[in-house]
């Protein structure tokens, strides 16, 4: 539970960083989706319950920040969490590069999913157009390098809760 | 049933976390009138959670933005502090300039009020007020600047003293509070005559030779009578204070509070002539020129 609380604290910090970066990176036209690497990491490494709770909380934070209809990004983060879990189990994703690439793909899927669902529930005249896809693509590409410090932070949090087993030689 | 739930609790949790947000999303997307009972229940359940998360997120964002806004605040504060110091020094300079301006304006008014007199402006550059010696101030103008011995020295408030000695660029003024100073005065109200003598310190002077029968009260204004050959008539000297009239003797005694505070002198006027040379009558001008 402590780990989940730390994940939530990191998510809040990253959300704040993301919001302030929006002003400086891209001039408000696009942003870095820093919470996606958190969800991907949880999908790869966290136990199911902790990971699901963490992903839901990260999604909720994104929902509050986005100011759109509540639940959209929470649902998509849960989907991303499950997708990462499946990918982690079926594909051999190792190292920082693999994690960064997975984060980029995750950010893209999240953006496309949000676009599709919003189009589905919005009236035709106010639905977001396909032009948003370009923005989603740029955000995904920017998220790739940004995923590396997030990975380091998540590993640091996990290291806090690692217990050495007695009698194990290293 | 409970065992089944326990066995699949992870799956259930994931399912709830997946379905609930989707339900909230669809319920929120609908217009309020179109919402079903289930939608309302879902929204009612999730709204408090949403509020708490919103509070945490906005709080963190605000704290972060405050931190970002505070970057460089120390440097800005130091720069502002330096600016405040500079402005304070500038303010002090301006205050001094304003006070000087007021003093000079008062002196100028005095010269304008007496167009028939010639004044020389001078600044006090030295003070010698030894309790056992002479009470002198040094001016930055001497014989080169037209100052001569015995010339009256005054400010807008009144008489300061007379020129005691003159050098090329400076001159010493014997203040009216000096023991050797004696100025013939007249009571402005009753025209009674007397002398104001210094006591050797910057405090009050003494009123001499005021006849016991003369009309004199405390607070009376004293002005120069013009009978001592130094000061022209009508210049303020001081005010009568602590009047003491005994039942015997020829004179009454009193203290005189000088009109000028000699401890705060900065700029003075030296009365070079009581009448401008060009306007003076030839007969009156001759002895003055001869005297020089």
pLDDT at A166: 67
Asked if the model's pLDDT at residue B50 lies above 80, the reply is: no
Question: 3-state class of B238 per DSSP?
Answer: strand
* Cα(A65)–Cα(A78) distance, integer angstroms: 17
SS3 content of chain A, % helix, strand, coil (to 5): 80, 0, 20
Q: Higher model confidence: residue A75 or residue B279?
A: A75
Asked if the model's pLDDT at residue B277 lies above 90, the reply is: no
Interval B90-120: pLDDT, tens = 999 999 999 999 988 888 888 888 888 889 9
Contact between A144 and A103 under an 8 Å Cβ cutoff? The reply is: yes
Asked if the model's pLDDT at residue A12 lies above 60, the reply is: yes
* Cα(B154)–Cα(B102) distance, integer angstroms: 16
Q: Higher model confidence: residue B116 or residue B85?
A: B85
Length of chain A: 170
Any idea of the CA torsion for B145, B147, B152, B153, to the nearest 10 degrees? 40
DSSP state of B280: S
- For residue B222, the number of C-alpha atoms closer than 13 Å in the C-beta half-sphere is 32
Residue B120's beta-bridge partner residues?
Answer: B270
**Cβ B68–A69 below 8 Å, yes or no?**
no
Least confident of A4-13, A18-27, A88-97, A139-148: A18-27
* Cα(B269)–Cα(B108) distance, integer angstroms: 9
Asked if the model's pLDDT at residue B1 lies above 70, the reply is: no
From residue B127, alpha-carbon distances to A3, A20, B130 in Å are: 81, 67, 9
Contacts of A12 in chain B (CB under 8 A): 56-57, 60
Q: Which two tokens stand for residue B261?
A: 């505070």
* Cα(B10)–Cα(A14) distance, integer angstroms: 27
pLDDT at A168: 63
Q: Higher model confidence: residue B147 or residue B274?
A: B147
Give the rounded percent of residues in chain A with a pLDDT score beyond 70: 86
Nearest Cα of chain B lies from the Cα of A91 at a distance, in angstroms, of 22
Average pLDDT over residues A75-90: 88
**Cβ A71–B24 below 8 Å, yes or no?**
yes
**Cβ B10–A20 below 8 Å, yes or no?**
no
Q: Is B14 near chain A, with CB under 8 Å?
A: yes
Q: Is A61 near chain B, with CB under 8 Å?
A: yes
Asked if the model's pLDDT at residue B146 lies above 80, the reply is: yes
Interval B246-266: pLDDT, tens = 778 889 989 999 999 999 899
pLDDT category at A169 given cuts 50, 70, 90 is low
| Helical spans, DSSP H, in A30-127 | 35-45, 48-66, 72-90, 95-121
* Cα(B9)–Cα(B15) distance, integer angstroms: 10
Q: Which two tokens stand for residue A72?
A: 């959209």
| Fold (topology level) of B118-276 | Thrombin, subunit H (2.40.10)
Backbone angles phi, psi at B222, to 5 degrees: -110, 130
Average pLDDT over residues A25-29: 60
pLDDT category at A30 given cuts 50, 70, 90 is low
Q: Which two tokens stand for residue B45?
A: 């359940």
DSSP state of B205: E
pLDDT category at B292 given cuts 50, 70, 90 is very low
Q: What is the mean pLDDT of chain B?
A: 84
Question: 3-state class of B165 per DSSP?
Answer: strand
Q: Which helix (H) or strand (E) holds B250?
A: none
Question: 3-state class of A12 per DSSP?
Answer: helix
Q: Which helix (H) or strand (E) holds B209?
A: strand B205-211
* Cα(B284)–Cα(B291) distance, integer angstroms: 12
Interval B168-192: pLDDT, tens = 999 999 999 999 999 999 999 999 9
Q: For chain B, what is the largest distance between any 2 Cα atoms, rounded to a whole number of angstroms?
A: 138
> How many Cβ pairs within 8 Å bridge chains A and B?
93
Asked if the model's pLDDT at residue B288 lies above 50, the reply is: no
* Cα(B201)–Cα(A32) distance, integer angstroms: 83
Q: Which two tokens stand for residue B89?
A: 């020094």
Asked if the model's pLDDT at residue B281 lies above 70, the reply is: no
Q: Which two tokens stand for residue A71?
A: 């639940």
Reported ipTM: the value is: 0.76
Interval B190-223: pLDDT, tens = 999 999 999 988 889 999 999 988 888 999 999 9
Return all residues near B288 (Cβ < 8 A) that are at least 6 apart: B273, B277, B280
pLDDT category at B279 given cuts 50, 70, 90 is very low
pLDDT at A167: 67
| Helical spans, DSSP H, in chain B | 2-7, 9-29, 37-70, 73-113, 282-291
Nearest Cα of chain B lies from the Cα of A78 at a distance, in angstroms, of 6
pLDDT at B178: 93
Asked if the model's pLDDT at residue B137 lies above 50, the reply is: yes
Nearest Cα of chain A lies from the Cα of B44 at a distance, in angstroms, of 13
Interval A32-67: pLDDT, tens = 778 889 899 888 888 888 888 888 888 888 887 777
Burial of B257-282, coded b for 16+ CB within 10 Å and e otherwise, reads bbbbebeebebbbbbbbbbeeeebee
Asked if the model's pLDDT at residue A76 lies above 50, the reply is: yes
* Cα(A71)–Cα(B21) distance, integer angstroms: 4
Nearest CA in chain B to A119: B29
Q: Please classify residue A137 by burial: count the beta carbons closer than 10 Å to its beta carbon, then call 0-12 exposed, 13-18 middle and 19+ buried.
A: middle
Nearest CA in chain B to A72: B25
pLDDT category at B284 given cuts 50, 70, 90 is very low
At the top level of CATH, the class of A2-160 is mainly alpha
pLDDT at B49: 76
């Amino acid at each position: 539970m402590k780990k989940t609380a730390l994940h939530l604290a990191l998510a809040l910090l990253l959300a704040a960083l993301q919001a302030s970066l929006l002003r400086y990176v891209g001039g408000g036209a696009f942003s870095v989706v820093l919470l996606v690497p958190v969800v991907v990491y949880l999908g790869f490494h966290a136990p199911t319950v902790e990971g699901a709770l963490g992903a839901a909380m990260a999604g909720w934070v994104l929902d509050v920040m986005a100011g759109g209809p509540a639940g959209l990004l929470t649902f998509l983060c849960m989907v991303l969490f499950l997708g990462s879990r499946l990918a982690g189990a079926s594909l051999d994703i190792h190292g920082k590069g693999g994690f960064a690439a997975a984060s980029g793909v995750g950010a893209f899927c999240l953006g496309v999913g949000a676009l599709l669902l919003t189009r589905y529930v919005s009236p035709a005249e106010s639905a977001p157009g396909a032009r948003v896809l370009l923005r989603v693509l740029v955000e995904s590409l920017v998220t790739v390098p940004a995923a590396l410090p997030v990975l380091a932070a998540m590993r640091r949090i996990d290291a806090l809760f690692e217990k050495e087993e007695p009698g194990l030689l290293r | 049933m409970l065992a089944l739930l326990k066995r699949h609790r992870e799956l259930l949790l994931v399912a709830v976390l997946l379905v609930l947000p989707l339900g909230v999303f669809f319920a929120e997307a609908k217009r309020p009138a179109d919402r079903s009972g289930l939608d309302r229940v879902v929204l009612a359940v999730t709204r408090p959670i949403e509020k708490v998360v919103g509070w945490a997120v906005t709080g963190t964002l605000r704290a972060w933005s405050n931190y970002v806004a505070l970057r460089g605040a120390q440097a800005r504060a130091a720069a502002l502090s330096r600016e405040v110091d500079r402005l304070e020094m500038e303010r002090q300079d301006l205050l001094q300039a304003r006070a000087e301006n007021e003093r000079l304006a008062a002196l100028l008014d005095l010269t304008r009020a007496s167009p028939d007199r010639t004044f020389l402006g001078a600044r006090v550059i030295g003070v010698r007020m030894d309790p056992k010696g002479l009470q002198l101030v040094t001016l930055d103008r001497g014989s080169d600047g037209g100052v001569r011995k015995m010339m009256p020295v005054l400010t807008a408030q009144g008489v300061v003293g007379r020129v005691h000695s003159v050098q090329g660029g400076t001159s010493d003024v014997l203040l009216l509070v000096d023991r050797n100073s004696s100025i013939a005065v007249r009571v402005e109200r009753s025209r009674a005559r007397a002398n104001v003598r210094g006591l050797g310190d910057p405090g009050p002077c003494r009123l001499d030779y005021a006849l016991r029968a003369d009309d004199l009260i405390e607070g009376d204004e004293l002005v120069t009578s013009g009978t001592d050959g130094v000061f022209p008539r009508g210049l303020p000297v001081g005010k009568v204070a602590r009047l003491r009239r005994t039942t015997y003797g020829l004179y009454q005694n009193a203290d005189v509070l000088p009109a000028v505070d000699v401890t705060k002198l900065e700029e003075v006027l030296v009365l070079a002539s009581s009448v401008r040379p060009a306007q003076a009558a030839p007969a009156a001008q001759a002895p003055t020129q001869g005297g020089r």
